[in-house]
Amino acid sequence: MTGISGFEPDFLVGLEAVREAHGPGLAALEGRRLTGFAVVRFAEDGDRYADCPVVLDFDGVQVEICHSKLDELSIGWNSSDTTAAISGWEWYEPTPVWSGADERLEPLAGRELREVALLEWRPSGLDLAEGTGAVEFVFDVGRFHLGNGLDENVIDVGEPHPDFVRHRPGAA
């Protein structure tokens, strides 16, 4: 993930650590409009590179969400420059570039964010991913969450899986 201008992840483990560090900031996004977003895609085929952060802009407040390993989550604020070229990847094929296109997020562009929630994976059976987190964004016309897809960032639309427990970001 090096070479993304301004991106300096601070990975946290566990819902409480994320809520303590970012709960107030996430809660403050409510009422703002999703005015833009950026994901990293490969220039050659357009496939999304899911190891890089997903950047969301809410009326000028930028939140950058990135998962790593099995249980790490980094949330950054107003630091990644999605207009700058991703550098230092000359050895890598294909070429990663920022893109403002994503068929899952496009229907929500311009919509007011109604609620933010932290999701915690609590399955009924034994599961290696137990306790991992996601960030959910709820709009009047839909919702999505950014979760951990076993060391990559997954964008899921619609209701989260029933094994996710919802937590308000500012509540204990």
User: Mean pLDDT for each consecutive 10-residue tract of the chain (172 residues)?
Assistant: 86 94 97 97 92 97 95 95 88 86 96 97 73 92 94 94 91 58
Pick from 29, 112, 118: nearest CA to 73: 118
> What residue spans define the domains of the chain?
12-167
pLDDT value for 70: 84
pLDDT value for 98: 96
Residue 134: is it exposed, middle or buried by C-beta count within 10 angstroms (0-12/13-18/19+)? buried
3-class secondary-structure state, position 88: coil
pLDDT value for 121: 87
* Paired residues of 68 in beta bridges: 72
Pick from 25, 3, 21, 24: nearest CA to 12: 21
Beta carbons of 36 and 105 less than 8 angstroms apart: no
pTM: 0.94
pLDDT value for 1: 54
